[in-house]
Amino acid sequence: MKSIIPPILTPMFDDERVNEQELRNQVNRMIDAGVHGIFAFGTNGESYALTDAEKERILEIVVEETAHRVPVYAGSGCITTTETIRMSRRAMELGADVLSVITPYFAGASQEELYRHYREVADAVDLPIVLYNIPVRTGNALSPATVARLAKDAPNIVGAKDSSGNFDNLKQYIELTTGLDKDFSVLSGNDSLILPALVFGGKGGIAGCANVFPHTMVAIYEEVIAGDLEKAKEVQDSIRPLRDCFKYGNPNTIVKLSTGLLGYPVGGCRRPFNSLSDEGMTRLKTVLAACTANGLN
């Protein structure tokens, strides 16, 4: 569980049906760029906007098209423990290699409730589990102490993705899970923190911007492994202009629009999360032109 794992986009036609052939194309595009996993229906895959039947079909396609070249991650987290177990078992049946389980959302949960939730899910499935912390979207934050407790107590909880945007939180995830008698991977869910995470002992990132510039995102990891931190910093900094465009709208919308503007027919996000102001679109086009001229791909 390392390097760059894209939460792959869910391509759609204008009528919002899933574009299955383009999904296959994007799987191959990511693998050809050197990614170390494909994450189906994560946040950038619009998991929040998909039906259960659509999720199952998407996972079937991703598993089939990946053909064991890299591990397949499936986002199986739901609001309740019972639903999360059901979705996790179904993902296991469909051939997922790893489960990414987001914290429950909408209703507030204590750390003890989160601990019990994840322990029940872990006990119910025979797959590795990555905890997913994104409190700005869910309203529930997994504390470093709870992550450490779960890492220690549940053999198949083997990693955590931190999308809090708080580097100290991510760093504590790393510090409190280092030295366990198992390999535990902390992954950055914030693309701007991939290099710092790697420097301090993290294993990589689940990177939405990899949908736009997969080779560039993989290069951050590769330069660190090669020992060239200065080059890794240059590559990490090169994606800042794209991320700066997130201020104009939903980041998922920006990522999907960017991929489309580069010539891939991935469509838009499902309504109502599918629009961008004229100012935002103008800026996005300018940034993408500059990025590609500078060699991002």
Report helix, strand or coil for 162. Answer: strand
Asked if 138 contacts 105 with a C-beta cutoff of 8 angstroms, the reply is yes
For residue 41, give the nearest of 86, 114, 101, 85 by alpha carbon.
Answer: 101
173 annotated active-site: no
Nearest-angstrom CA–CA distance, 177 and 186: 9
Can 132 be counted among the known catalytic residues?
yes
Q: Of these residues, 73, 115, 132, 221, which one is catalytic?
A: 132
The partner residues of 18 in beta bridges, in order of sequence, read 12
Give the amino acid at 294.
Answer: N
Which one of the listed residues 55, 73, 115, 161 is annotated catalytic?
161
Q: How far is CA 43 from CA 49, 75, 178, 227, 253, in A?
A: 10, 9, 27, 31, 11
The catalytic residue positions are 132, 161
